[in-house]
Structure 1
Amino acid sequence: MEWSKLKNVILLMLLCVNIILLLLVGSQASQDKRYQAETRQAAQAVLEQGGIDFTLDEFPDDLALPVTTVTRDRTGEAGIAAALLGEVTLEGESEVRPRYSGPGGVAEFSMNGSFTITLTPGTWSLENGQDYESSSQACLEAMGFTGTLSDTEQTGAETVLTYCQSWEGSPLFSCTIRLHWQENDLVQVEGQRLDGSISASVTKSLLSTPTILVRFLAGINEGGYVCSRIDTMDGGYLLSSNTTRQVQLTPVWRFVTDTGTYYVNAVTGEFSPLE
């Protein structure tokens, strides 16, 4: 056989092989997609049989977050106090719970990231055209805090806005900051924050979303909790250790229901209510 004809035959065979491989890959992808849809439907059916309505518009994708270890950095605490209170002075020599005072009030910080800043009325006030949310966001930016508004409460003349910290673009559910407003004046900022650098990051195999839903139902039943509806389901982090300089951020799913908030560990499947 002439070389030109042999070459054409070889090319045709290679083309056929590639077509077959593409068909196999497409068939496998189609089967995986069908299996995924069936698994999701089965998880929703199990929830409904357990008396829980899954009201989300879209079924969440599997979580893909690393288990992360963070080394705390407390060097910025004085700067945070100064950003709200003006030039501050350290009172005492306690490294466990330093206290700063300035013309705008006082600030105290703890080793676990919790803090309380009490402001003298008039130190931080609403300006013309501002609302509580925009002024609160400006306050958090001055503190170097990145987060999203999660709740607003109003009782009489007091309005409290709660923000959840973001870490590497994901919610850090363990760390929230509350801003207390008395009419036009911000009078207190308190909560917990994490500041530091990543010292380790490990990618682990996380449980699939359908498995997480089943673990959630099991946790509700085993704990004797009452729940009839899942309103939101979002992934993020919880601090697995909060008493040392190094803390671990563990991927979790947060369930906000009609009766409360619950977490399911995305690594182990452990169920826990919001404390």
Structure 2
Amino acid sequence: MEWSKLKNIIILMLAAVNVMLLVLVLSRQWESRSYSENAREDAVAILWETGRIRVERDALPDEMDLPVLTVTRDPELELRQAEALLGALSGEPSSMRYEGERGTAQFYANGGFSAELEAGACPIGDKAPAAYAVDLLAGMEFEAQVLEVREQGESTFVTVRQLWQGEPVFDCTATLVFEEGELRRIQEDVSRRLVGEPQSGGVERTYTVATMLMRFMDYVISNGRVCNEIDAFAPGYILESQSEPARLVPAWRVETDQGDYYWNAVTGEIRTAS
């Protein structure tokens, strides 16, 4: 047989093998999607039939695709944040407490922070308090999303949440207090930030949405909670800082008619969102 004919036969055989492999892969993907869809439909039905918890099928999110990340404290980042907030610093920090030309700031290893600013040090000019807060924190390498602006007496409280690459870090919020057209303090105990740049923490399996729905039903029943309807899901991260390095773990913030919850997509833990 001539080489050219033999070569054509080999090419046709390889093409046929590739087509067969493609059909096999597509078939398995279809089966996987079909199984996932059926599991979701079953979970929605069980939630209603067993727990009388309503959730619209169209409201369910895609499966979680955020990675687990680790966060190690970066003293240089902390120093840059202190300088961006306080201006020129005076002396060496003591116990993570910084003093500068605009006031003082206290940082903590778990990400907590607070600040007291001198009168006249941080005027907001013609900016709205929320816009000033976002810009100030951006200078501190803290990408912020405004959650609430609240007036109380002559003070304006702006609460923000930190984002990492556009995704919310649910545990990292800060409250900035404005009085008479200037920033006066960042509240202690309710303000928390990432202490370093998140890095890949390896691949960890996450629970499916259908499984988390079943776990939520068990949680509601076991803890005597009241929930009639699940309204919305938002993907993001929970900061676990009990160990070193800390971890950013993928999670859902779930809105219900009786309050919001965090669903940890790696451990399956469910807790209320305070």
Question: TM above 0.5, one fold?
Answer: yes
- Cα pair distance change 1:99/1:40, threshold 3 Å: same
3-state DSSP of counterpart to 2:206? coil
Unmatched segments (≥5 aa) in structure 1: none
Measured against aligned partners, the alpha-carbon deviations of 1:213-239 in whole angstroms (never above 9, x if no partner) come to: 221222122122222233332222222
Match of 2:45 in 1: 45
Match of 1:205 in 2: 205
Match of 2:269 in 1: 270
Match of 1:131 in 2: 128
Match of 1:146 in 2: 143
Distance 1:20 1:111 in 2: 56
Instruction: Confirm or deny: 8 A CA contact 1:90 1:98 kept in the other structure.
Output: no
Measured against aligned partners, the alpha-carbon deviations of 1:203-261 in whole angstroms (never above 9, x if no partner) come to: 0111111111221222122122222233332222222234x653222222222323323
11-20 or 249-258: bigger deviation:
11-20
3-state DSSP of counterpart to 2:46? helix
After TM superposition, the score normalised by the length of structure 1 is: 0.82
Q: Does 1:162 align with 2:159?
A: yes
Instruction: Confirm or deny: 8 A CA contact 1:108 1:117 kept in the other structure.
Output: yes
Match of 1:223 in 2: 223
Instruction: Confirm or deny: 8 A CA contact 2:44 2:57 kept in the other structure.
Output: no
Within-5 A mapping of 1:75-90: 75-90=76-91
Distance 1:251 1:63 in 2: 7
3-state DSSP of counterpart to 2:63? coil
Instruction: Confirm or deny: 8 A CA contact 1:118 1:187 kept in the other structure.
Output: yes
- Cα pair distance change 1:230/1:90, threshold 3 Å: farther
Distance 2:60 2:229 in 1: 15
Aligned-residue identity in percent = 37
Deviation, structure 1 residue 145: 0.8
Instruction: Confirm or deny: 8 A CA contact 1:81 1:117 kept in the other structure.
Output: no
The amino acid that maps onto 1:184 is: G
Match of 1:252 in 2: 251
- Cα pair distance change 1:257/1:181, threshold 3 Å: farther
Distance 1:139 1:56 in 2: 41
Match of 2:184 in 1: 187
Distance 1:107 1:9 in 2: 76
Distance 1:86 1:7 in 2: 74
After TM superposition, the score normalised by the length of structure 2 is: 0.82
Instruction: Confirm or deny: 8 A CA contact 1:84 1:124 kept in the other structure.
Output: no
- Cα pair distance change 1:213/1:90, threshold 3 Å: farther
Deviation, structure 1 residue 192: 0.9
Unmatched segments (≥5 aa) in structure 2: none
Tell me the number of residue pairs that the alignment of Structure 1 and Structure 2 aligns: 270
Instruction: Confirm or deny: 8 A CA contact 1:78 1:100 kept in the other structure.
Output: no
The structure carrying a bigger strand percent of its residues is 1
Aligned equivalent of 2:115, options 93, 114, 117: 117
- Cα pair distance change 1:66/1:33, threshold 3 Å: closer
The amino acid that maps onto 1:229 is: E
Within-5 A mapping of 1:231-242: 231-242=231-242
Distance 2:5 2:81 in 1: 78
When the two chains are superposed, the root-mean-square deviation of aligned CA atoms in Å is: 3.0
